[in-house]
Amino acid sequence: MSAKPEINADDMVNIEINGVPMQAAKGSMIIHAADDANIYIPRFCYHKKLPIAANCRMCLVEVEGVPKPLPACATPVMDGMKVLTSSDFAKKAQQGVMEFLLINHPLDCPICDQGGECELQDIAMGYGRSVSRFAEKKRIVKDKNIGPLIATEMTRCIHCTRCIRTIELVGGDKELGGMGRGTKTLIGTYIERSVNSEMSGNVIDVCPVGALTAKPSRFAARAWEMRSTAGVAGHDCIGSNINTHIRNKEVVRVVPAENEKINEVWISDRDRYAYEGLNSDSRLTAPMIKVNGEWVETDWNTALEEVVEGMRANKDNLAGLMSPNVTTEEAFLMQKLLRDMGATSVDHRIGQQDFSDDGQAPLASSLGSSVEALESLDAALLIGSNIRHDQPIASHRLRKAADNGAKVMLLNSIDFDINFPIAEFIITHPDAFAADLAAMVKVALEQNSSATPDGLGALINDVIVTDVHRDIVANLTSANNSSVIIGAQAMALADLSVIRSLAGLLATLTNAQFGYLSRGANSIGASLAGAVPYAGVGGKAVSAGRNAKEMFDSPAAAYMLMNVEPEHDCIDPVQATSALKAADFVVCLTPFASDVMRDYADVLLPTAPYSETSGTFVNAAGTWQRFSANCAPLGETRPAWKVLRVLGNLLDLNGYDYLSSEEVRAEVARDTGQLKLDNTQDWQCPASLGGASGIVRITDLPIYAVDNVVRRADALQQTVHAVSETIAMNQATADKLGVSGAIRVVVAQHDDEISGELCIDARIADDCVLVSSGTVLSSGLGVPYQTITVTKD
């Protein structure tokens, strides 16, 4: 239900721009009509995605019959209006404005990072005069430190206020402002502080001059030295479109590519700056094998022979694990290879522990709507989601909805910092999620007096219903367009299957859509491609194998790992690393090498990260987005699809003669063609709603710890959102545990123990102890959402 009004003739007026007759919507501005007709009017403050400020006056045009020039961005069209954008009169006005703008702007483009891609430079060339009559002193403004991501050179600022509007509208908080007035106006934060929005980098793109530029890539390349190549961001399930700028085979920076349906013109800082990880020192550049415990570099043939031997020798007990960030083609080929070898254990759901509804739950957990549609929701219940950090673009869409009055509601264990109005929220122990959802289901059942599904009656009889539950259900029911969404953080819950059943039922009862914002860039693509142990490509029946957790609980003899770092990524890092160490043979297809990897692996094959391979990501909305390699693979690195293809041939398997990743994709597309993404599932009554299990360790997936690339991106790791190596709980829990006031505490779970700094964090629910995943601390612990003990160190 998108709220786009039908345009009928009455709403249109006839105007003329530069003699070209055209129609324009009533109430729209001259600049809109001109842009639609491809007639360029110079502008600085106007930006199609931002509220109109009309403060730069660069867009002055002549309107017949009006004695003064008018700003095209702020002058509504009127019937019969005749606009001249480049008459002598208009040009003179534009030149005048240009001259004023350049009064204080330094004329030293050769030493400015923006030189060559500067709107001011371009417009000065096209619309300015060649001389300046200003002989007085130019003003100089001290640069500000606004954090590790954005470099400032405020002397260059022309006060268009685009950055202020962007950070408020897209970043979600008003972090920048215009201080002072007149010639003394300064753009900044007033007090020295960093700009912390997870979307902050967007101010760089909107800044028409070199005042705000990307700090990590500052002075690294000139605009004309870089090749811009299209791509798809690989760190969340939104699949923002990006342009990757390459110089000398290296990614220099990443900027958004416009896609109205997905990311509009924005990207998250994670998608913008993660590329630094691609250039990290820990990149593996040549195949390596372990000979007598020593690592030696070798050629591809030798390494692949090693792999063939290792896999053949252990073919009866082989398992394969990949991250949800691999391409669809890679996922497909890896599961095909393993299955052709007779293996059954292959999975990509690295962060999940409850697999009890495999086969009943949907094969691929999708959003159930387009990304764009999030902004037309009237109500949404998010379960286990830190949407602002999990999928910043989805959060931006949802914020637009919330600003329009949508009721966004949350069920979480951590009171995450959300930058839009939240109508209702429940911050509770994860063991209570099921009971809370059951209470909502109970309300919904009473309300629409529908039959209670099998077995549910007994379960919900005793659940306590509160006003919050009633309000949530009322909001969902009364909305025209509502959605119940399970978030990325929920994927790790111990009772995911129960949450899934109840949430799905709640959605049905309240007439809401039901969807997921899951973890990783391509969990849907991987699932469709058959990278799950209970189904092959397109959901095809297969002989079932062990899932991402079981394959370590009952260890395999040999493992193939692709683009995954189990010590950080797996649900049970301790179990995973010990199984890998004990295995006979481990091969890693990986862009990076780490010490842990060198410890357990036998062969390391350098495979391409997303920037160096072609492939396809399927986003949360089910959109297949294909991309090509942005640059040549580093050193001896090869795209994983090629490596798997060659392995297939070396293993004498049939059907590995693909000439391009396109062919692989075509095969997956053919085999999944009939499959519609659908989140409905048959009602499975949960055995119980669980119950209080005391002090549990909870986890979250910090924004800059989500995958191997992001974890290596330096600038992101210097921000306030960098991974924090702490053991966090609220004051009440600390008191209860008797650790209040301690500097360090010890967390013990079964035989595992970690010790770390105690952090008192009021956002965390009672009886919960947060050790974030992706951290060094968490790699010393087992499965999250289990009981632990905490003592003073």
Partner 1 sequence: MQTVNDVLSESVRKEIEHWLTKFPADRRESAVIPALTAAQEQNGGWLTEEIMNAVAEYIGMPRVSVYEVATFYSMFDREPCGRHKINVCTNICCMLMGSDSVVEYIENKLGIKQGETTADGKFTMKIEEECLAACGGGPMMVVDGHYYEKLTPEKIDTILDGLD
The residues binding ligand SF4 (CB under 6 A) are: 157-163, 187, 206-209, 211-212
Q: Which of 173, 309, 316, 417 binds partner 1 (CB under 8 A)?
A: 173
* Shortest Cβ 183–partner 1 spacing (Å): 11
CA dist., res. 162 & res. 151, Å (int): 16
Residue 464 per-residue DSSP state: P
Q: Residue 158 Cβ, how far from ligand FES at the closest point, in Å?
A: 10
Decide whether 45 or 361 has the Cβ nearer to ligand SF4.
45
- Minimum CB distance to partner 1, residue 164 (Å): 8
Q: Which stretch binds ligand FES (CB under 6 A): 52-60, 415-423, 466-474, 666-674?
A: 52-60
Which C-beta is closer to ligand FES: that of 72 or that of 383? 72
Q: Is 13 in the site for ligand FES (CB under 6 A)?
A: no
Reading the block at residue 237, the tokens are 């399930």
Helices (H) and strands (E) in the chain — how many of each? Answer: 24, 32
Pick one of ligand FES, ligand SF4, partner 1, none as the site partner of residue 58 (Cβ within 5 to 8 A by kind). ligand FES
Q: Which of 15, 17, 30, 59 binds ligand FES (CB under 6 A)?
A: 59
And the tokens for 696? Answer: 């549990």
For the bound state, the minimum distance from the C-beta of residue 252 to ligand SF4, rounded and expressed in Å, comes to 21
The smaller minimum CB distance to ligand SF4, of residues 211 and 506, is found at 211
CA-to-CA separations, 759 to 145, 618, 720, 731, in angstroms, rounded: 27, 38, 15, 9
Stretch that binds partner 1, among 184-192, 333-341, 411-419, 547-555 (CB under 8 A): 184-192
Q: Name 284's bridge partners.
A: none
- Listed ranges 126-134, 186-194, 371-379, 479-487: which one lies at the site for partner 1 (CB under 8 A): 186-194
69 interacts with ligand FES by CB under 6 A: no
| Nearer residue to partner 1 within complex by CB, 171 or 430 | 171
Nearer to partner 1, 182 or 293 (CB): 182
Determine contact, residues 188/176, Cβ cutoff 8 Å: yes
Choosing from 12, 22, 25, 54, the residue that interacts with ligand FES (CB under 6 A) is: 54
Q: By C-alpha distance, which of 472, 471, 478, 473 is closest to 444? A: 473
Please identify, using beta-carbon distances, which residue of 74 and 596 lies nearer to ligand FES. 74
Answer with the entry of ligand FES, partner 1, ligand SF4, none that 54 interacts with (C-beta below 5 to 8 A by kind): ligand FES
How long a stretch of residues is the chain? 793
Question: Torsions phi, psi of 499, nearest 5?
Answer: -60, -45
- Bridge-based pairing state of the strands 70-71 and 186-188: unpaired
Q: What is the DSSP string of 159-206?
A: ---HHHHHHHHTSSS---EEES-GGG-EEE-SSS-----TTTTHHHHH
Going by DSSP bridges, is the β-strand pair 318-322/345-347 parallel, antiparallel, or unpaired? parallel
* 3-state SS class at 54: coil
Task: Compute the 3-state secondary structure of the chain and give helix, strand, coil in percent, each to the nearest 5.
Answer: 30, 20, 50
Shortest approach of ligand FES to residue 52 CB, angstroms?
A: 8
Task: Evaluate whether 166 touches 50 at the Cβ level (below 8 Å).
Answer: yes
Q: How far is the CB of 182 from partner 1 (least distance, A)?
A: 9
Q: What is the distance between the alpha carbons of residues 761 and 738, in angstroms, rounded to a whole number?
A: 16
Residue found by looking up tokens 């919960």 in the block: 768
Question: In this chain, which stretch among 44-52, 238-246, 275-283, 746-754 interacts with ligand FES, using CB under 6 A?
Answer: 44-52
Map residues 191-210 to x or -, x wherever contact with partner 1 holds by CB under 8 A: x-------------------
Mind giving me the DSSP string for 443-460?
HHHHHHTPPPPTTHHHHH
Q: Smallest gap, in angstroms, from Cβ of residue 53 to partner 1?
A: 14
User: According to the binding rule CB under 6 A, does residue 46 interact with ligand FES?
Assistant: yes
Contact 597, 590 (CB under 8 A): yes
Footprint of partner 1 (CB under 8 A): 168, 173-181, 189-191
Footprint of ligand FES (CB under 6 A): 43-46, 54, 56-59, 71, 73
